[in-house]
């Protein structure tokens, strides 16, 4: 977490980032269209906002879970196609779907044994992943209706999570600003404040297939991750606390490598994740985190973030039973996620960067997904 005014080093990093393609769109560069998108069973209305830039890139976001429903990106011939998994209607998101495109909170990723100690008190959060808590609990931020406001430069979504919701202390006000820039970037800026000491780790869970959604698996995508280390896990995907060198392992993506090149190796970590489902320790701060290239279409996605970690997940739990947009079946490894984040289980791992947020501090972090082709 980057707390405003924390240290001069971080401030310098933030300044570097500001010069580093992380500037939001300017007023008037973005077209935003709003449409009604159905209702929850209790009658709460849900909207769909479509953000488009002058190039023709379109990103549709629903107020249900703040989820990215569709995102178009150009191939090497300039042809735009939808490259993210999602559902056709809000009803689709009310079924058990694995966080398609959603905003994740209050704590993204896992908390071991579904409990943590803060200021000497033990907090219990929902056990919804074996013995552990995943992605904020039974009803995390992905299953809440966010309040939307068009700011002129983007779509601002707000969700107020009450003290004690899903077991977390403190009323947390989370604000997420989605922008589509003229450089074909989806920029996501997260802000949060609290009225009591709490923990927070927000992310977005978009599933990408740069070959086009529903167009086969992602094993041929070539991935670079700017990380020399990752956090190995136990069989419940909780970090052991070690920061292990990627060198000489199937986790070394410091040079561009196809996802499928080593995913089937007899490696204990790959077996625990049923493929890649791990957190990489990003090198340095305020920098490019990853690049993904899809050779057939030529599409490229760059990920930039100020976060310390990146969960690279290769859709190992998709099994073809969910039919998404246009009725397409989402099969095993038909998409990948790059969830920028703090390390999993940080509230229980004093050696990991802290995820605590106190009253008076502002949680603030930016992630950019940039699309191009070659």
Which residues of this protein are in contact with ligand GLA, per CB under 6 A?
A: 98-99, 109, 134, 237, 277, 311, 313, 317, 337
Considering beta carbons, is residue 51 or 310 the nearer one to ligand GLA? 310
- Compute the least distance from the CB of residue 279 to ligand GLA, in Å: 9
Considering beta carbons, is residue 76 or 328 the nearer one to ligand GLA? 328
In angstroms, what CA-CA distances link 20 with 11, 23, 88, 282, 317?
A: 14, 8, 35, 17, 35
Q: From the CB of residue 326, how many other CB atoms can be counted at a distance below 10 Å?
A: 9
- Compute the least distance from the CB of residue 193 to ligand GLA, in Å: 26
* Helix (H) and strand (E) counts in the chain: 3, 28
Of 205, 221, 278, 342, the active-site residue reads: 205
Task: Measure the CA angle with vertex 89, ends 174 and 79; round to 5°.
Answer: 90
The tokens for 274 are: 């049923």
Q: Among positive and negative, which fits the CA dihedral 16, 187, 295, 228?
A: positive
The tokens for 299 are: 């599409």
Considering beta carbons, is residue 43 or 96 the nearer one to ligand GLA? 96
- Compute the least distance from the CB of residue 134 to ligand GLA, in Å: 6
Give catalytic status of residue 166 as yes or no.
Answer: no
Of 166, 278, 339, 342, the active-site residue reads: 339
Contact 107, 113 (CB under 8 A): no
- Compute the least distance from the CB of residue 239 to ligand GLA, in Å: 12
Dihedrals φ, ψ of 8, to 5°? -60, -35
- Compute the least distance from the CB of residue 176 to ligand GLA, in Å: 18
The tokens for 100 are: 């398609």
Q: How far apart are CA 211 and CA 82, in angstroms?
A: 9
* Among 91, 103, 93, 86, residue whose Cα is nearest residue 155: 103
Report, in angstroms and rounded to the nearest whole number, the Rg of the chain calculated over CA atoms.
19
All residues at 6 or more sequence positions from 85 whose CB lies less than 8 Å from its CB, including other chains: 100, 101, 206, 207, 209, 213, 324, 325, 330, 334, 335
All residues at 6 or more sequence positions from 248 whose CB lies less than 8 Å from its CB, including other chains: none
Considering beta carbons, is residue 158 or 269 the nearer one to ligand GLA? 269
Considering beta carbons, is residue 109 or 307 the nearer one to ligand GLA? 109
Give catalytic status of residue 185 as yes or no.
Answer: no
Considering beta carbons, is residue 99 or 168 the nearer one to ligand GLA? 99
- Compute the least distance from the CB of residue 237 to ligand GLA, in Å: 6
* Among 76, 69, 72, residue whose Cα is nearest residue 58: 72
**Residues annotated as part of the active site:** 205, 339
């Amino acid at each position: 977490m980057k707390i405003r005014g924390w240290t001069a080093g971080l401030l310098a990093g933030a300044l570097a980032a500001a010069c580093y393609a992380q500037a939001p769109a300017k007023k008037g560069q973005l077209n935003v269209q709003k449409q009604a998108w159905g209702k929850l069973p209790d009658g709460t209305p849900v909207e769909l906002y479509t953000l488009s830039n002058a190039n023709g890139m379109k990103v549709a976001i629903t107020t249900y879970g703040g989820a990215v429903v569709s995102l178009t990106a150009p191939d090497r011939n300039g042809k735009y196609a939808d490259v993210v998994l999602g559902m056709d209607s809000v009803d689709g998101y009310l079924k058990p779907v694995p966080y398609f495109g959603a905003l994740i909170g209050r704590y993204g990723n896992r908390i071991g044994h579904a409990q943590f100690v803060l200021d000497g008190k033990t907090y219990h959060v929902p056990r919804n992943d074996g013995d552990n808590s995943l992605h904020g609990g039974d009803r995390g931020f992905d299953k809440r209706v966010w309040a939307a406001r068009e700011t002129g430069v983007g779509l601002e979504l707000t969700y107020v999570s009450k003290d004690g919701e899903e077991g977390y202390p403190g009323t947390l006000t989370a604000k997420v600003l989605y922008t589509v820039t003229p450089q074909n970037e989806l920029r996501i800026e997260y802000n949060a404040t609290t009225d009591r000491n709490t923990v927070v780790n927000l992310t977005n869970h978009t599933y990408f297939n740069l070959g086009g959604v529903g167009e086969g698996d992602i094993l041929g995508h070539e991935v670079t991750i700017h990380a020399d280390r990752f956090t190995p896990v136990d069989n419940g995907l909780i970090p052991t606390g070690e920061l292990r060198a990627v060198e000489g392992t199937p986790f070394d993506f410091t040079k561009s490598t196809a996802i499928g090149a080593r995913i089937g190796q007899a490696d204990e970590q790959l077996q625990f994740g049923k493929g890649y489902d791990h957190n990489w320790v990003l090198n340095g701060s305020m920098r490019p985190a990853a690049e993904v290239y899809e050779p057939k279409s030529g599409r490229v996605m760059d990920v930039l973030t100020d976060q310390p970690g990146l969960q690279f997940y290769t859709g190992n739990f998709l099994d073809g039973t969910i039919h998404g947009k246009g009725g397409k079946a989402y099969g095993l490894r038909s998409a990948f996620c790059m969830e920028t984040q703090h390390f999993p289980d940080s509230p229980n791992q004093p050696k990991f960067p802290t995820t605590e947020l106190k009253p008076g501090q502002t949680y603030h972090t930016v992630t950019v997904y940039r699309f191009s082709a070659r």
